[in-house]
Amino acid sequence: MSTAPRISLSGTNYEIGYKHGASLKTQIARQIEFYYDMFQNSSKLDREGVHRRAREYEATIERLVPNLHQEIVGIAEGAGVDVLDIVALNVRSEIALGEFQDGCTSISWKVVGEDGKTIQYLAQNWDWVRPVQQNLAFVEILQEGKPTIKMVTEAGIIGKIGYNSASVGVLLNALRASPTDTRKLPVHVLLRLCLESTTAAEALSQIEKYGAASAQHILLADLSGAQCLELSPIRNHYMYPNSDNFLAHTNHPIENTAIKEPSEFPGSKERLERTYTLVKTIDPKTLSPQRLRETVFADGENGNFGICAPENPCKPKWIRTMTLFNIVTCLKEGCEPTAEVVFYNDSPDWIDINNAIRL
């Protein structure tokens, strides 16, 4: 894959959703088919079972954030599918909790550029299963009275990885742990609320207000700095950058003792340690998206459990994860925020700067 559909959405939440659904109708149909296959194989849930779980979350979304519920309804109607199918896409992390193996690596690094201006970098490799790659999209959302959102998302999902015009950025890492709480908001809905916020502090207040339905990690930043948010329905915990203004996270809880993993996430601790080792080889004054991709995010040490991970053909297809894309977001003092995305294409030169796409 070398690119993804690019859509711009505006209007009411329902109108935003309807255009989303109509524009990505083919991708949404593939997503639904793929995830129902995954739910069946990983969690033994048929369509009726998925809908039962989705219905509980839908009631919470409609009660707490009715405008975003209307957007989900719009997506369903635009795509010509059942609204519970779209809810299921947006709560896929909560429905099959513990079975997902999306081994992402996220970092934040705040530096001072050669021009003396502060630059906050947010970057991650997003690892997931190959069939989803063809259903990714670049989505811009313009809403009256809110910052403009730019994100990379899965078709049908209302919030994901990206930034907004107020220089608030978010990244996501899955954490496998129980319990879940259907009275709180799913992580992809929380990501959307973060992307609608004008500051990281406002985004954090939204998370505290509504709570997370499952254990997840969000790396949240604006120009004032970054935080790792280790979220849980039981208790949240926040981590801050080290003395070099650097922060990294993978797929295991580091400090939140309320998060209990059913089993250790393979390679997660090794990736975290490797990330801190690799950044020590970079002079902050030479930092750039290309430098991060070449030095950190192209690293293949530890094979299928590495930062840049190839597909493992020995695993069942619904958990056969690989690095699908890399994103580097740049929030710079006095400048418009930007991001570059590179898709994995089974080629050793996939991190070539010439393949980078502006989000």
pLDDT digits (tens, 9 = 90+) for 139-149: 999 999 999 99
**Residue 162, Ramachandran bin (φ over 0: left; ψ between -120 and 50: alpha; else beta):** left
Q: 105-358 maps to which CATH number?
A: 3.60.60.10
pLDDT of 97: 64
Cα 244 to Cα 276: distance, rounded to the nearest angstrom: 11
**pLDDT given at position 346:** 59
Contacts of 292 (CB under 8 A, 6+ apart): 107, 121, 123, 282, 328
Least confident of 3-12, 91-100, 259-268, 349-358: 349-358
pLDDT of residue 331: 98
Report, as an integer, the average pLDDT of 200-206.
Answer: 98
Q: Which CATH architecture has domain 6-95?
A: Orthogonal Bundle (1.10)
Structure confidence at residue 82 as a pLDDT band (50, 70, 90): very high
What does the pLDDT look like over 119-171, one tens digit per residue? 999 999 999 988 999 999 999 999 999 999 999 999 999 999 999 999 999 99
Q: How confident is the model at residue 310 (pLDDT cuts 50, 70, 90)?
A: confident
**Cα distances (Å, whole numbers) of residue 94 to 162, 298, 354:** 21, 30, 37
User: What integer pLDDT is reported at residue 191 of this predicted model?
Assistant: 98
Domain with CATH 3.60.60.10 in the chain: 105-358
Whole-number percent of the chain with pLDDT over 90 = 76
Q: Compute the half-sphere exposure of residue 46: CA atoms within 13 Å on the CB side of its CA.
A: 1
Q: How many CB atoms lie within 10 A of CB 195?
A: 26
Please check the confidence at residue 98 and state whether its pLDDT lies above 60.
no
Name the average pLDDT for the chain. 92
pLDDT tens figures, 20-34: 999 999 999 999 999
What pLDDT is recorded for position 102? 58
- Rounded to an integer, what distance in angstroms lies between the CA atom of residue 64 and that of residue 265? 32
| Per-residue pLDDT, 344 | 82
The pLDDT of residue 319 is 74
* pLDDT at position 103 over 80: no
Question: Would you say 123 and 292 are in contact if contact means Cβ atoms under 8 Å apart?
Answer: yes
Q: In what order do the strands lie in the sheet with 118-129?
A: 246-249, 105-112, 118-129, 321-332, 338-343, 357-358
Higher pLDDT among residues 58 and 259, named by residue: 58
Here the tokens at position 316 are 């069942």
pLDDT bin (cut points 50, 70, 90) of residue 347 is low
Model pLDDT, residue 352 = 53
The 10s digit of each residue's pLDDT in 235-278 is 999 999 999 999 999 999 999 998 888 777 788 999 999 999 99
**Sign of the four-CA dihedral 222, 9, 85, 311:** negative
Percentage of residues in the chain having pLDDT higher than 70 = 94
* Residue 261 pLDDT: 82
Cα 25 to Cα 31: distance, rounded to the nearest angstrom: 10
